[in-house]
Structure 1
Amino acid sequence: MSDAHNLYKRHFTSAEESRAAISKLQDQDSYKLAFADNDFLMQDDLRHVRLQLEYLKPQLVLEQHGVKATIVVFGSARFLAPEQAQTNLLQAEQALTKEPDNMALQQAFKLAQRNLKNSEYYLASQQFSQLVTEHSNKHQDSALMIISGGGPGVMEAANRGAMAAGGESIGLNIVLPKEQNPNPYITPHFCFQFHYFAIRKMHFLQRARALVAFPGGFGTLDELFETLTLIQTKKAERVPVILYDKAFWQRLINFDMLAEEGLISPQDLELIQFADTPEHAWQLIYDYYQLGQAQLD
């Protein structure tokens, strides 16, 4: 019998035909859930969504863990740990001994000497963070968590000091052309990564109860002056802003000249304090909040 007129053709679509049709649809980008479609989220028109997500992710995690008050530690990523700096100096010295007239080795030796000297800042950052964390472990009513940029140098030292004291700490990494890997001392569930500097800086300051700036380069200066500007313009509540190593900062920036020229008011100079030891830096914060007498709000 002929089925030329489709009189006896299968009435329902077969399962295989349905599966094939659905498969073709599912393979299309348009079928993907919007929040699961990375190509869609990476479009320029979605920048505002990415900004919001980058703000919300750390915000929710920190809220869920009850993190309310932090101390921000800024400083150069280029300072080495003392043990590494000492090793590098010994190696440079040995190489120079074999070729004392080699200009490149002479330069490497001078660099290693400078790095060993500057490793004092790494150690100071580590000791300061250890002091803060030891206090926080004993006094939960006035606990302060260390937060750093999450990278090497002063940042690593800050997270390392918190870990040495048996406490937790936060690291806010940033995606850079030369990849910045998180240092191994950050508490894993507080290790965040950012694309946008602006959102990262918001998270630095949102819970900040103090800022300690060790010597550093453009990044440190950027973060320091943004903080001072927010406090000066009353966009943010005043908190202690402590510059570590008074001689370094006074050689780098003539704050008094800014006041003398009327570019800032004399009262603005009071926003800055100096410390030359980890103990002094912590004491300034301790006294500002009267931690021996009262709880943090």
Structure 2
Amino acid sequence: MKVKKERVFPDAHQDVEAVREIPDTPQTRAPAYKLAFNDDDFLCRDDLRPVRLQLELLKPELLMQEHGIESTIVLFGGARIPEPSKKHTARTDTLANLSHYYDVAREFARLMTVESKKNGGKENVIVTGGGPGVMEAGNRGAADAGGESIGLNIVLPHEQAPNEYVTPDLCFNFHYFGIRKMHFLMRANAVAMFPGGFGTLDEMFEALTLIQTNRMKPVPFLLFGKEFWQRIINWDALADAGTISEEDLNLFHFVETAEEALEYIANWEEPA
């Protein structure tokens, strides 16, 4: 049995508590006297941005390691897509018609989580942006299967707040979009794209670019809803123009149902 080594130096928590007992004087009240790592004003200075970037990379990484998360299935999609029972709240008829993808995303996440639990539930864990809409459906589907799921939330003025289905110990909040997107893809065994807006498009094209340029290993890349994706993006025009190659059109695959997606993932072979 491994014996835990006794600490040589006091840990940070001990020093934070020790400082509370120091006499109150003009010197100890001054901002300069605060422990640097326990000084919010100092950590939020512009000069400390590199440190904050590192902290946002480290915190989720360390906590996911401690939780035993080995790999993920990434689920991207629109925050504004309602579940079908609430489609009357949609701001447009088109958005209401997209509401069935809420159920598709929920079922996809449920089926993936059922498979994940067969191997201990630490591989192919569903990860979403943790917000409403399709993201909620993904976390909800994992909960339907009695499994865990990850939410990578971000501070935004309006829509972003964690949905109730994210596993609390795996619900993270970010300031930097770039670090958040790294965490989406660092453990990805597959990427599932559902209809969405600017954020979804940004996430999709960044992931495709990383795969196209060999900065990320190829993984099954699923676009749910062929009609939607072909309507908003003229993929063939990009290839015809030569701005992408014909082979780049093979980086992704259109699917319509959760079952079709699982079959594709199960039979996918990495390009030679």
Q: 1:43-62 to 2 correspondence within 5 Å?
A: 43-62=45-64
Q: TM-score, normalised by structure 2?
A: 0.87
The residue number in structure 2 matching 1:69 is 71
Q: What is the distance in 2 between the residues matched to 1:65 and 1:173?
A: 18
Please point out which of 80, 97, 106 is paired with 1:126. 106
- SS of alignment partner, residue 178 of structure 1: coil
Q: What is the distance in 1 between the residues matched to 2:115 and 2:22?
A: 64
The residue number in structure 2 matching 1:277 is 257
Contact 1:135–1:143 at 8 Å: present in 2 too?
Answer: no
Q: Is it true that 1:175 corresponds to 2:155 in the alignment?
A: yes
Q: What is the distance in 2 between the residues matched to 1:177 and 1:268?
A: 36
Residues 267 and 114 from structure 1, CA distance in 2 versus in 1: closer, same or farther, beyond 3 angstroms? closer
Deviation at 1:289, TM superposition (A): 6.0
Deviation at 1:84, TM superposition (A): 2.3
Q: Is it true that 1:140 corresponds to 2:120 in the alignment?
A: yes
Deviation at 1:117, TM superposition (A): 2.2
Please point out which of 276, 284, 287 is paired with 2:267. 287
Q: What is the distance in 2 between the residues matched to 1:285 and 1:64?
A: 27
Q: Is it true that 1:221 corresponds to 2:223 in the alignment?
A: no
Pairs aligned (count) = 250
Q: 1:71-86 to 2 correspondence within 5 Å?
A: 71-85=73-87
- Greater radius of gyration (CA): 1
- RMSD of the alignment, in Å? 2.0
Contact 2:152–2:173 at 8 Å: present in 1 too?
Answer: yes
The residue number in structure 2 matching 1:242 is 222
The residue number in structure 2 matching 1:14 is none
Q: Match for 1:200: what amino acid?
A: R
Residues 259 and 116 from structure 1, CA distance in 2 versus in 1: closer, same or farther, beyond 3 angstroms? closer
Q: 1:100-115 to 2 correspondence within 5 Å?
A: 111=92, 113-115=93-95
Please point out which of 217, 234, 245 is paired with 1:265. 245
Q: What is the distance in 2 between the residues matched to 1:20 and 1:74?
A: 50
Q: Give the structure with the larger helix fraction.
A: 1
Q: What is the distance in 2 between the residues matched to 1:189 and 1:277?
A: 30
Deviation at 1:44, TM superposition (A): 0.3
Q: What is the distance in 1 between the residues matched to 2:71 and 2:36?
A: 35
Deviation at 1:141, TM superposition (A): 8.6
Deviation at 1:177, TM superposition (A): 1.8
The residue number in structure 2 matching 1:3 is none
The residue number in structure 1 matching 2:231 is 251
Deviation at 1:21, TM superposition (A): 7.0
Q: TM-score, normalised by structure 1?
A: 0.80
Q: What is the distance in 2 between the residues matched to 1:187 and 1:65?
A: 11
Unmatched segments (≥5 aa) in structure 2: 1-20
Q: What is the distance in 2 between the residues matched to 1:176 and 1:289?
A: 38
Contact 2:81–2:102 at 8 Å: present in 1 too?
Answer: yes
The residue number in structure 1 matching 2:165 is 185
Deviation at 1:24, TM superposition (A): 2.3
Q: What is the distance in 2 between the residues matched to 1:84 and 1:145?
A: 27
Deviation at 1:140, TM superposition (A): 3.3
Please point out which of 208, 225, 248 is paired with 2:188. 208
Q: What is the distance in 2 between the residues matched to 1:51 and 1:142?
A: 26
Query: Percent same amino acid among aligned pairs?
Result: 53
Q: Match for 1:253: what amino acid?
A: I
